[in-house]
Amino acid sequence: MRRVAFLGLGNMGIGMARRLLAAGHGVAVYNRSPGRAAPLVQQGATAAATPREAAAGAEIVFSMVGDDAASRHMWLGRDGALAARTAPRAFAVECSTISHRWIAALAARARGQGLRFVDCPVTGLPDAAAAGRLTLFLGADKADADALAPVFAAIATEVIHFGPVGAGNAYKLIVNLMGSIQIAALAEGLVTAERAGLDLGQVVQALSKGGSASPQVVRNAPLMLRGRHAEDVVFSGKWRLKDTAYGLAHARAMGVASTMGAGAAAAFRLLVADGTQHQNESKLVDAVRARDSRQR
């Protein structure tokens, strides 16, 4: 069993940390809102006051947070995990969906501290995290990926090793940008169907069986139809816009204009403009309705 630090106990991180505890690892946890750690402490975790304290003596340090700024908070500074005295040749595992520029900078900083760095974004919703059914997109040296495989087995049913550090992050940004485009297209399609006088319940049912039935469409179409976007928020418009912006920046850095990605980003910015970015990403359908009503 390994000594693990887990930084970030949001909807995804808390389930992942709990799975590591259940697998018998010694887990120290840190979250900026300390109350989130209480259920894990009851199950045997150790609560830390800072990321540095959590990472002290750790063999593996996981981070699972919302964006670049939160990742920097976890790793950098006097109280950051990179300031800790970890176990020799410890692993730094960044599971957050962050920008490609920051993943490269973070990898360089971690390696400069003698850590083995792995970029490890995940796919799956909070229920998958709680059940240990995530898919991991790995960017790592093969030897490091192999060494971590027994630990990853506690949190994931599939690990896809895309290549060296940065490759997992690159794939995650690509696939999330594609997901944003699909959700934006779905919202516009449903509003168009509504204007055409079609029964939206029938449209949603048909979409779930048709050629456009991507997982994003299948998941979000019933939510858009139901319309209760503030209930049971799983993935908010705020985080969808963040992922879209990071994916768009990466595409452009690769020399790809991504006009469809830019359109999706513009659509999700509507949620920020109307103050509903903390609701489910499915709220986009209402923002599209409002936008197009103003233009009529």
For the chain, domain boundaries: 3-165, 170-295
Examine the pLDDT at 137 and tell me if it is beyond 80.
yes
Predicted pLDDT at 294 = 74
The predicted model gives 48-66 an average pLDDT of 98
Examine the pLDDT at 152 and tell me if it is beyond 90.
yes
Secondary structure (3-state) at 1: coil
Report the relative pairing of strands 122-123 and 156-163 from DSSP bridges. Answer: unpaired
Q: Could you tell me which CATH number the domain at 170-295 has?
A: 1.10.1040.10
Q: Of 172, 238, 242, 283, which residue is the catalytic one?
A: 172
Q: How far apart are the first and last CA of the chain?
A: 63
Q: What is the rounded average pLDDT for all residues in the chain?
A: 96
Q: List residues bridging with 6 in a β-sheet.
A: 29, 62
Predicted pLDDT at 296 = 62
- Each residue of 207-224: pLDDT tens digit? 999 999 999 999 999 999
Examine the pLDDT at 230 and tell me if it is beyond 70.
yes
d(CA 121, CA 136): 6
Examine the pLDDT at 122 and tell me if it is beyond 70.
yes
172 is catalytic: yes
Examine the pLDDT at 292 and tell me if it is beyond 90.
no
Torsion of CA 66, 67, 70, 72, to 10 degrees: 140
Burial of 211 (0-12, 13-18, 19+ CB in 10 A): exposed
Q: Could you tell me which CATH number the domain at 3-165 has?
A: 3.40.50.720
- What sign results for the dihedral spanned by CA atoms 203, 208, 214, 220? positive
CB 3 within 8 A of CB 61: no
Per-residue buried b or exposed e for 51-64, using 16+ beta carbons within 10 Å of the residue's own CB:
bbbbbbebbbbbbb
d(CA 186, CA 215): 12
